[in-house]
A and B are shown apart, each in its own frame.
Chain A
Amino acid sequence: MTTKLFGEPVQRREDPRLLTGQGRYLDDLGREALAAAFVRSPHAHARIRDIDVGPALDVEGLVAVYTWEDLPERVGRALPLLIPHPALTHGRTAYPLAREVVRHVGEPVVMVVATDRYAAEDACALIEVDYELRKPVVGLEEAVHGAQLVHEDVPGNVGAHLVQEVPAPGGHGAREAIEAAPHTLSFRLDIERSASMPLEGRGVYARWDGRDLRVYSSTQTSTSVRMAVAAALGLPLPQVEVIAPDVGGGFGVKIVHPWPEEVLVPWAAMTLGREVKWAEDRREHFISSAHERAQVQHVRVGFDDEGRVLGLDVSILHDHGAYTPYGIIVPIVTSTQLLGPYRVGAYRVEFTAVYTNTVQVTPYRGAGRPQGVFCMERTMDKIARHLGKDRTAVREANFIRPEEFPYDQGMIFQDGRPLIYDSGDYPEMLRMIKELIGWDSFERRPGRGIGIGCYVEGTGVGPYEGGHVQITSDGRVHVSTGLTSQGQGHETAFAQIAAAELGVPIERVSVVTGDTRRFAYAVGTFASRAAVVSGNAIALACRKVREKALRIAADALEADPADLDIADGLVHVAGTPSASIPLSTVAVLANPLRYAFDEEAAKATQFSGTASPDRPPVAEGEEPGLEGRDYYSPIRSTFAAGMHAAVVETDPDTAEIKVVRYAVVHDCGRLINPMIVEGQIHGGVAQGIGGALYERMVYDQHGQLVNASFMDFLMPYATEVPHVETDHLETPSPLNPLGIKGAGEAGVIPVSAVIASAVEDAEGFAVDRMPISPSELFEARRRNRG
């Protein structure tokens, strides 16, 4: 690599358009399209007796009204269950429009298409749906009680039940180990619902030309939307293309697919022969997209005098909402990532995923890890308190040691592969975080506490991503990958990789993501995987192109390819800079031509004399063009890690909690762009602070989400987020060519654990429920202090 770009804080290449209003988000497209709007259920659980669309028919501008009965058989089928699992014995998904029964407030019942959104909403308001109300199931306890059922054919509301056991080396199970341990503790932990809540909601825009369908969707996976839409509409795959334009944040919710609207809007466009668009509004997003987090955990732990965990037994109740389109990934991640950087004697984890009449639960940044880390870190703090030891000493006593990698946790991870940590240095990381926050010199006093939280995050899950790299005869480098971008700076980070690998100035590199016209094979952007999986695929594709470029240049320069290097877009003989050939010319030579449409092309035509007459113009085994495609398919996930610490102050009268310092030490292997990684961490911590102190989804007993607006769902503003101090440890991953690990979700993962730890330290009593509001802390003081 001749151009030092990898590891540099290169400024983002997507910014100029986003700063000038030239970004193209979903609702910025399709100005002439018809607008769709939906009648959504106002009830959490009801049978639909009748739908009267009559009153809406006079609305000026109305084009079409559809209920489930209007949908063709194929379009009206239940949405797919994307990630089946043997433990998900009662997986259930919704229909694109409600079929007979609605199971949460916000479920789409009628689709209206009109000349603009105002008219579509006017029509929605006039449609009368006659509901026969059923008693809703709200909250985990009610779901487990099972007296009322969300799905008539799912007994006890239990969708899935999974037990995983990792015995101690001697063969003892966790329960046995706990019984035999010198010390034991039992407790319950509660975590509330929150949601991804990107500032741009979901949206779909479809164009049908009578043969081909083009769909734009604000999605985290355009390739999968393409396949899902083709399947639902019965179209041959080559006739469908899906593009994720600029996407205004995702954080997990946009990985689910196909959403009802992703099937219905393209279908309506085909049926009507008109462009159709739907852009979700904020209330729709609250009540019809997805939530996450809610769990109740019952924990038993046995440990020795040093605080070493001999046995850990965790029982998780997971609220899955009304449907399970994304399978049971969230509780699987909680179960398998719970152990964090620790080796425990024996581990047993059991989860029960239950249905409730609430919005479905699918991954939100962290995807079950914040809950698992909350459990493990609360456990560590409780052990320390029980033994009268420093909280960091107990963690240290349980760490996996640097020499123990690769470390097999003995479980199956969310990708169906063994949970084997590839690399890390947890003791060093602890030393760094203690130094950064000043752990040993911290002056504790009532109302002022310090907390810590550690986590390990499996990142870069497979199955694969790909990259395509083409150098054109103008010397430009065109990179594409199939996964999508929602603000992670992929256009910059991937350009850095390509520029470094190819030895070209970054200004000549352009990157396209999430456009199936450019790259059709991809999985999607989730699980902190884009940099790891697409980044490595692009590097591998670049290496192919580089090899080809050197081969062609070696011929032209009559040199040995091994003696060649590329710098600043010039292939040159090492040590002899004058003997060189630009990549633009190599690109010309790579594509023998008959027609000279420009000056560069003329050099590659049949009478230009550049090709040997003894060989076919395209040699055997070669392909025309200076381009290459490659894939990276990881054998397993790579495991990033981090430790956070915070200092909080609690107001003695108002019980307000103020985070006065927040420190992060983070290890995601080699950094491609430290500026972008830090930005990801800042944003993650801010979401974590929201989840720890402010954000919750409040359902009343009727299943109404009573805080479904930004007025009442309290996302942090600048006034609520502390300054984040960061430091990096770089333990390269041995699993992939670039040595990188994922960073996208990291910041959010341990925050609730850290804040609980600090508040507990400040207040002197246990904090076992998150988020914690001032009024909850106030009540907790009364309970604990009388």
Chain B
Amino acid sequence: MEHEITLVVNGTARRVRVPARRLLSDCLRHDLGLTGTHVGCEHGVCGCCTVLLEGRPVRSCLTFAVTVDGAEITTVEGLAGSDGRLSAVQRAFAECHGLQCGFCTPGFLCTVTALLADNPVPTDDEVIEGISGNLCRCTGYQNIVKAVHRAAELRAEET
């Protein structure tokens, strides 16, 4: 049986019919065509599929789409400004070489966006703790940590 739901994705209301078992990650990727959200393990460990649900990071591979009917969701496609300017977090990742293959990157960007919203000037330990739910196989995390600090600086300059 299918359910009609509405997801407010990156500011736009999207109506979609999904079976109850449809994962939010699959719904975003395959039903709505927002393939920036990636799926790395489908069991909630790697964090590639992290999106912001009402501003909070969640694993979209552990969330059924029907359970978030009506919710506001931000995916990596919605992080840049409406003018296309990259967010401070996105720019910092580029500047600090915080990505290589880029597969885990959307999850990190969402996680870090929420982290800095909560804690605009995190310490080193807070950064490491804050990103410790996301796996990256390429970078060794060092430049990701650097990018988070840099993003905090860029955010501060902008506000």
Q: Report A's interface with B, CB cutoff 8 A.
A: 11-12, 14-16, 18-25, 27-28, 31, 116, 118, 197-200, 246-249, 251, 281-282, 486-489, 675-676, 678-680, 682-687, 709-711, 715, 717-719, 721, 723-724, 747
Contacts and interface: CB of A to CB of B under 8 A. Distances in A.
B86 interface: yes
Kindly name the residue among B34, B36, B75, B142 whose own CB sees the greatest number of chain A CB atoms within 10 A. Answer: B142
Contact of A682 (B22, B36, B142): B142
A281 to B, nearest CB: 6
Given A21-B75, A709-B45, A715 B137 contact: yes
A19 B101 contact: no
Contacts of A25: 35, 38, 103
Given A489-B100, A710-B46, A118 B21 contact: yes
Contact of A14 (B79, B102, B104, B131): B102
B9 to A, nearest CB: 12
A45 to B, nearest CB: 27
Contacts of B109: 19
Contacts of A199: 38, 40, 46, 48, 101, 103-104, 135-137
B77 A281 contact: no
Given A27-B39, A282-B40, A711-B43, A18 B142 contact: no
Contacts of A31: 30, 33
Contacts of A282: 40-43
B60 interface: no
Nearest to B142: A682
A11 B86 contact: no
A488 B38 CA distance: 19
Given A21-B36, A24-B35, A711-B45, 13 more contacts: A11-B97, A118-B21, A199-B48, A248-B38, A248-B103, A249-B137, A249-B138, A679-B138, A685-B140, A687-B137, A717-B134, A718-B141, A721-B141
Contacts, number: 165
A21 B37 contact: yes
Contacts of B137: 197-199, 249, 251, 683, 687, 715
A486 B80 CA distance: 25
A679 B93 CA distance: 13
B105 A19 contact: yes
A683 B99 contact: no
Interface residues of B, number: 56
Nearest to A196: B137
A684 B46 CA distance: 19
B140 A686 contact: yes
A675 B41 contact: no
B6 interface: no
B135 A198 contact: no
B142 A23 contact: no
Given A25-B38, A198-B137, A19 B94 contact: yes
22 contacts: A15-B102, A18-B105, A20-B36, A21-B76, A25-B103, A28-B35, A199-B48, A246-B101, A248-B40, A281-B42, A487-B101, A487-B102, A678-B97, A679-B100, A679-B138, A682-B140, A682-B141, A683-B137, A685-B140, A687-B140, A721-B142, A723-B142
B144 to A, nearest CB: 7
Interface string B52-84: 000000000000000000000001110110000
Nearest to B77: A21
Kindly name the residue among A486, A678, A685, A717 whose own CB sees the greatest number of chain B CB atoms within 10 A. Answer: A717
Kindly name the residue among B42, B109, B134, B139 whose own CB sees the greatest number of chain A CB atoms within 10 A. Answer: B139
Interface in B103-146: 103-106, 109, 128-129, 131-145
Nearest to B43: A709
Given A199-B103, A249-B103, A710-B41, A20 B77 contact: yes
A556 B131 CA distance: 59
B2 interface: no
Contact of B101 (A198, A675, A686): A198
Nearest to A117: B26
A687 B42 CA distance: 22
A326 B141 CA distance: 31
Contacts of B145: 718
B90 interface: yes
Contact of A717 (B22, B102, B106, B135): B135
Contact of A246 (B37, B41, B102, B129): B102
B131 to A, nearest CB: 5
A199 B46 CA distance: 8
B99 A19 contact: yes
B29 interface: yes
Contacts of B40: 199-200, 248, 282
B146 to A, nearest CB: 10
A21 B100 contact: no
Contacts of A721: 140-142
A682 B145 CA distance: 12
A187 B21 CA distance: 55
B80 A682 contact: no
Nearest to B48: A199
Nearest to B136: A199
Given A18-B105, A19-B93, A282-B41, A487 B100 contact: yes
A531 B145 CA distance: 27
Given A21-B35, A709-B41, A710-B45, A719 B30 contact: no
Kindly name the residue among B36, B48, B95 whose own CB sees the greatest number of chain A CB atoms within 10 A. Answer: B36
A11 B136 CA distance: 20
B45 to A, nearest CB: 4
A23 B107 CA distance: 14
B48 A724 contact: no
Contacts of A246: 101-102
B142 A20 contact: no
Closest 7 CB pairs of A and B: A21-B36, A248-B103, A487-B101, A18-B102, A686-B140, A682-B140, A487-B100
B144 A718 contact: yes
A118 B30 CA distance: 12
Given A16-B86, A199-B40, A709-B43, A28 B139 contact: no
Contacts of B93: 15, 19
A27 B38 CA distance: 9
Contacts of B36: 20-23
Given A282-B41, A721-B141, A676 B33 contact: no
Contacts of B29: 27-28
Contacts of B142: 682, 721, 723-724
Contacts of A23: 36, 102-103
B139 A682 contact: yes
A717 B140 CA distance: 8
Contacts of A200: 38, 40, 101, 103
Nearest to A17: B102
B29 to A, nearest CB: 7
A720 B133 CA distance: 12
A441 to B, nearest CB: 25
A179 B145 CA distance: 53
A247 B41 CA distance: 16
A712 to B, nearest CB: 10
Contacts of B106: 21
Contacts of A723: 142
Contacts of B143: 679, 682
Contacts of A711: 43, 45
Contacts of A249: 100-101, 103, 137-138
Nearest to A709: B43
Contacts of A16: 86, 94
Interface string B16-37: 0001011000000110011111
Contacts of B131: 717-718
A49 B21 CA distance: 34
Contacts of A676: 97
A59 B131 CA distance: 41
Contacts of B141: 682, 686, 717-718, 721
A683 B43 contact: no
Contacts of A28: 29, 35
